[in-house]
Amino acid sequence: MFYSPLEEGKVQCYLCNHRCTISPSKKGLCGVRENREGKLYTLVFGRAISLNVDPIEKKPIFHLYPGSTSFSIATVGCNFRCLQCQNHEISQMPADQGRIDGSMVAPSKVVSLAKEYRCRSISYTYTEPTIYFEYAYETAVLASREGIKNIFVTNGYMTEDALRAIQPYLDAANVDLKSIQEKFYREVCGARLRPVLENLRLMRQLGIWVEITTLVIPTLNDSDKEFEEIAQFVLSLGPEVPWHISAFYPTYKMLTPPRTPASSLHRAREIGMKAGLRYVYCGNIPSEGGEDTFCPGCGRSVIERIGFRVVKNDLVSGACSHCHTKLDGVWNS
């Protein structure tokens, strides 16, 4: 899907915003789409490198069926080259090791496993779901027929064509907004900022439930100015869009910055709340109340979490049990 033939046997891929021009017998930047005699082939269809049953909070998705489990799948490969990638063993395997590993698991099998383990959703996660689009697409179509929700955990770099194609079957997305600086995207990720911002706007227009995650890296994207600009962008999408702020630890090719102090995450949360966002969360650090969902009406804690576990849920049909304010999200009826 999503390519056009060019002269001299080349092809133009338009699955993601790199829009690679690929010569015969060569692969795109993702390392998993190959030009074979003028036709573009995916090398990872059905080749799952990871299959897990996760709490949905681990994605993180906090406003779709909280406390439920999500069947999580991935293939190898990615269209970003993030220096701080926490799943680099599989996301960068084609680039770093020249290998494409994975076990054959058909889309129908993914859906049957999700049903077997009573997962209410399937998450396309760990690496970048855009680069295994055909696999995710076929699985999502089947899952939708069974009443199972579909979630992309994504860098948000797909083209508009790809996003519109998956939209009828895509219920939610957690999008990494890694920075609000073009320089950061170019130097740290090997990509551009603008397509990510445009896709976030489009997801909202298409009715996909969106949550945003920012990994806070000391000295690179942890200034008050950065937090304020990200908060204002999220606010432009709607005050109901949740913003997850998570802590960095040294890994892969980014070993110099220290771990993110809890104070940076708390500061970002305060800035986000002050800007007018209803739901701002501190992730992957011990944080009293930072993972809880508060009612925007009465201010009480209505969903309390410890780690990836929901320990209290005071929503009734998506509304606060205290003041009956409707909260934003996809809730249990």
d(CA 97, CA 31): 11
Q: For 194-231, what is each residue's pLDDT tens digit? A: 999 999 999 999 999 999 999 999 999 999 999 999 99
Of 69, 72, 60, 153, the C-alpha closest to 119 is 69
Residues forming beta bridges with residue 213, ordered by sequence position: 176, 244
- Does the pTM surpass 0.85? The reply is yes
Q: Are residue 286 and residue 333 in the same domain, yes or no? A: no
What confidence score (pLDDT) does residue 284 get?
Answer: 80
Q: Quote the tokens at residue 52.
A: 């897990």
Structural domain range at position 318: 298-333
Q: Are residue 198 and residue 315 in the same domain, yes or no? A: no
d(CA 51, CA 71): 7
What is the helix (H) or strand (E) element at residue 262, kind and residue range?
A: helix 262-275
d(CA 240, CA 329): 8
In the chain, DSSP finds a helix count (H) and a strand count (E) of 9, 20
Q: For 10-51, what is each residue's pLDDT tens digit? A: 999 999 999 999 999 999 999 999 999 999 999 999 999 999
Q: Is 260:248 a contact under the CB 8 Å cutoff?
A: yes
Q: Are residue 113 and residue 217 in the same domain, yes or no? A: yes
Q: Are residue 93 and residue 156 in the same domain, yes or no? A: yes
Tokens 């950065």 sit at which residue?
A: 226
Q: Are residue 251 and residue 268 in the same domain, yes or no? A: yes
Q: Are residue 11 and residue 152 in the same domain, yes or no? A: no
Q: Check which CATH number belongs to the domain holding 78 and give it.
A: 3.20.20.70
Q: Are residue 271 and residue 313 in the same domain, yes or no? A: no
Q: Are residue 112 and residue 254 in the same domain, yes or no? A: yes
What is the helix (H) or strand (E) element at residue 135, kind and residue range?
A: helix 133-145
Hey, is 316 helix, strand or coil?
Answer: strand
Q: Quote the tokens at residue 276.
A: 């007018």
Q: Are residue 320 and residue 221 in the same domain, yes or no? A: no
Hey, is 236 helix, strand or coil?
Answer: helix
Q: Is 162:33 a contact under the CB 8 Å cutoff?
A: no
DSSP secondary structure, 136-158, as one string: HHHHHHHHHHTT-EEEEEE-S-B
Residues forming beta bridges with residue 211, ordered by sequence position: 174
Q: Are residue 63 and residue 27 in the same domain, yes or no? A: no
Q: Is 184:220 a contact under the CB 8 Å cutoff?
A: yes
pLDDT mean across residues, the chain? 96
Q: Quote the tokens at residue 322.
A: 């205290």
Q: For 62-95, what is each residue's pLDDT tens digit? A: 999 999 999 999 999 999 999 999 999 999 999 9
Number of independent structural domains in the chain: 3
Q: For 274-301, what is each residue's pLDDT tens digit? A: 999 999 999 887 667 799 999 999 999 9
Q: Are residue 149 and residue 237 in the same domain, yes or no? A: yes
Q: Are residue 24 and residue 79 in the same domain, yes or no? A: no
